[in-house]
Structure 1
């Protein structure tokens, strides 16, 4: 029995040394650490998603969109609960930017209707309405109602 305790003691010393050297990591996380880790992961994911949308926009509007838009909506809830979001809602602080984006995509549209226009843009379904521009899984919304 004494030999097993001595071996166990040696194993514990070895584990402590491994932790100190950062070879083994403590897998227990406090709820705060878990929450902070999820928030960091979500933030990185949303930055990636925003960059992917920006690549689809006309080059002359990319910087302004980057600076004047933010993501909100159910995608954050989905990501926090480790689910794939069905879409990403972007809100743009500048109605002037929203109007320029709407005009750009209307010029690209293969069908134009009174309430809805759209078609394919870079092999992605695009729908333009008075309230939003849907570009695949991305939806671009203005903060105020359109002035049309």
Structure 2
């Protein structure tokens, strides 16, 4: 692969990451399961979910909570490694700001800082999806996460 082809893939994987967290933070994760391959695995700091159906159920459970939940997943230091034209991995840092309630909420430090490892694959339709996403907490406050 040429350096430009690798750069294009890295940009596409970074865009996938930004779109995923936009979906989760601004659309309540209604379509978050669609960002995974059919048998994709989503491992949070609390639990592992395998398959789109399980991932959908997780986000539906978040949406059904009796209290509103506001979250912003801030992503930084993304590093993408391209294996070939259809496979790449991503490692990056997640800063999670979240609290129960509607905005505007008091500003507090991140409730979790985590390392995230993604395995991504481009499908026959040309769309990148997660084969797996693993979130491993490095720092965590006493405020509970919903993961």
Structure 1 or 2: more strand by fraction:
2
TM-score (norm 1): 0.34
Select the structure of larger CA radius of gyration. 1
TM-score (norm 2): 0.34
Structure 1 or 2: more helix by fraction:
1
